[in-house]
Amino acid sequence: MNQTENVNPEEIEKFESVAHLWWDLSGDFKPLHQINPLRVQFINQHIAEHPVYKHEGIFDKQVIDVGCGGGILSESLAKLGAKVTGIDMGTEPLNVAKLHALESKLTINYEKTTVEDKAASNEEAFDIVTCMEMLEHVPDPASVVASCSKLVKPGGLVFFSTLNKNIKSYLLAILAAEKILKLVPEGTHDHDKFIRPSQLIAWSERSNLKCIDTCGIHYNPITENHTLTSSLDVNYIICCRKVNS
């Protein structure tokens, strides 16, 4: 597969069809809005612990949000003062992201491109790379990991979030979340494309990314609250630091 073709048209079409709901806090993307503060918390925590970044925080850092969709995370990072680029292959989600950023009076550079193509012309251009809930929607997730590594500067941080591949993740992320509780549209996820943490960390390490932390995201269906947890059984996020090759 050509790296620039690492796109699943069916996945793009799926998100195109519901793009108008991206900023509806009670709609199909409600779970993303709910977990977004936890993602930002996890990112800020590791910036605060970084030997260089801790002195200035995320302010003025070059950040790229890979698979940005409608811009939920991109906007949160821009509000903290980061210089954000968001990339995606969905036209309608990007249009929604651009319009919402305009309404929010935020300057964010949104581009329709693959991470592979972006990395080819922007090697080591970013301080921080985020790639959230995107790896499970592409044919070759290892290629995305490698390209994220190319994009980040030596010593920079890369954050990935995805879903673990096990029986529990099927029961909670698909059976419960999609079919019973209707938290997200049915068909949002394909369990066969979920990724075990050990596999994601192996891909990262092969691409000069050292995993320095992992964290799970737990959902309580009764309180509708999400919390960070040590368990990586279902949703999880990892932080990697780029090491010299």
Domain locations in the chain as residue ranges: 9-242
Please report the sign of the dihedral spanned by the C-alpha atoms of residue 32, residue 116, residue 77, residue 23: negative
Contact call for residues 236 and 215 (beta carbons, < 8 A) = yes
Quick one: pLDDT at residue 3? 46
pLDDT of residue 170: 53
Sheet holding 225-229, edge to edge: 109-112, 83-88, 62-66, 126-132, 152-163, 235-242, 209-220, 225-229
Q: Of 208, 207, 64, which is closest to residue 131 (Cα–Cα)?
A: 64
In the CATH scheme, what is the code of domain 9-242? 3.40.50.150
Query: What is the distance, to the nearest Å, from the Cα of residue 89 to the centroid of all Cα atoms in its chain?
Result: 14
- Which residue ranges are tagged as binding site for S-adenosyl-L-methionine? 39, 67, 88, 132
Q: Which residues are annotated as a binding site?
A: 39, 67, 88, 132
pTM for this predicted structure? 0.92
Q: Nearest CA to 126 among 87, 100, 168? A: 87
Geometric angle at alpha carbon 238, from 235 and 241, rounded to 5°: 170
pLDDT of the residue at 183: 66
pLDDT by residue, tens only, the chain of 245 residues: 444 589 999 989 989 999 999 999 998 888 889 999 999 999 999 999 999 999 989 999 999 999 999 999 999 999 999 999 999 999 999 999 999 999 999 999 999 999 999 999 999 999 999 999 999 999 999 999 999 999 999 999 999 999 998 777 656 656 556 566 666 667 666 767 889 999 999 999 999 999 999 999 887 766 778 899 999 988 899 999 999 75
SS3 for 91-128 is: HHHHHHHHHHHHHCCCCCEEEECCHHHHHHHCCCCEEE
Contacts 24+ apart (CB under 8 A), 152-155: 152/124, 152/126, 152/127, 152/128, 152/242, 153/124, 153/125, 153/126, 153/127, 153/242, 154/124, 154/242, 154/243, 154/244, 155/51, 155/52, 155/241, 155/242
Cα dihedral sign, 6-66-85-155: negative
Residue 70 CA neighbour count, 13 Å, CB half: 22
Report how far residue 42's alpha carbon sits from residue 38's, in angstroms, rounded to the nearest whole number.
6
